[in-house]
Chains A and B, each alone.
Chain A
Amino acid sequence: MSETILKINDLKVNYGGIEAVKGISFDVPAGQIVTLIGANGAGKSSTLRAIAGLVKPSGGSIEFEGENITGLDPTSIVTKGITLVPEGRKIFPDLTVLENLKIGAYLRKDDLTDDLNWVYDLFPRLKERSWQEGGTLSGGEQQMLAVGRALMSRPKVIMMDEPSLGLAPIIVRGIFDIIKEINKRGVTVLLIEQNANMALKTAHIGYVLETGRLTMSGSGEELLANEQVKAAYLGT
């Protein structure tokens, strides 16, 4: 087992008095694909937002490479090598595709050519459309752009919030292939999904989140075979 890159300890997140995450702990081993699955409102997005620094946790701690990063601002988190592909893609619609990619590398001062080539390699479609405004892309292309943009910061950990949401099944498969491809390059992936079937097939490790608490964990295959998971999330 590889060493833990991201360690979540008894994390709690409050939104105006409502506890969305009620003390969860889990480890993300370096170089793996880890997925959190769960229904709407289970606290998946809140967990990622807390790690990314968008919300301050109300309790618990987040450790990255052995260092406590709880409550740091998003800029510091990005600098350390954690990036979030937000739910709903959130690309910048009036920036060109190329600008969207460049802004992903906003904090970097070194040469971007290699990374741009890598992203264009992963998503040839983006290269064809690099001068188009981001808002003119289709949903699937926008998702590619959002992932590409996140990769431009050269992250160690990439977190993805519902990358398959609202996409056609064939495009969803493409997205999951890309996730595996990114992971092969050594980037750790923390993925949250409602499409539990695809997520568990792709992930090395899975956690099940129910109303703010972790209820199960195991390897992707174990969870896929689990009767409870099958009944609740896979609909089989």
Chain B
Amino acid sequence: MIQIKNLNVTYEAMGEGYTALENINLELGAGKTCAIIGPSGCGKSTLLKVLAGIIKKYEGVVEINGQPITPMKQKIGFIPQNYGLLPWKNVYENIRLSAKIKNKKDSDHSRELDFFVQQLGLAGLEGRYPGELSGGQQQRVALARSFLLKPDLLLMDEPFSALDAMTREEIQNVFLDVWRKYSVSTILVTHYVEEALYLGQKIVILSGIPGSISTIIDNPLFGIDDIRNHQDFFQLSLALRKMIKEDWSK
């Protein structure tokens, strides 16, 4: 269970104070997914960084299972926009890194690791370096790295936006497959309405500067097979689009 209560984030730049996030309240049940959608500069990434434990200066309550965010104690997987792979480590070492840092004592994850390599279609690529992989393959590696931990919370910052349309759909399905097996609480940031509809059980619409939540929608279409080709999907995405447009032009 992820709980955010009265979250305010301010930061200072050039001697002036800015409010990045204002009065954010959000609750996410364990093992659920949540898509955050919002215009650029509305503080989406800031929100993720707070949840990732990267930004530590904030007001309000941010808790995972009743515990304040502490990267040392909890398992938090964070996939930044560029996938965050280390270019000097090959696929195998990159995936192993999360387990290496997290469980220093029992560091034998080789069987699980092999399983995830298979699961995410990375077999045969273990020895390659990120520079030799396509964007989609890099994203698979990043997913494998995060899922290997079976994290308490998985955070993804525009995870699929750099991929071409076909690869994006494919990786979205890969993500959903693995997510169904492990039901990891996931929060992802996106600027695609369709992506939010496809991957988010909850859809949070952020607006304006400073960033605040304008609507939270419980997505009725989540998890239905082949939903992307249904009429409902088109209609809901159109409605959502309209809502967002009105909301952001305020």
Whether A associates with B in a native complex is no
Residues of A near any B CB (own CB < 8 A)? none
- Taking Cβ atoms with an 8 Å cutoff, the residues of B that contact A are none
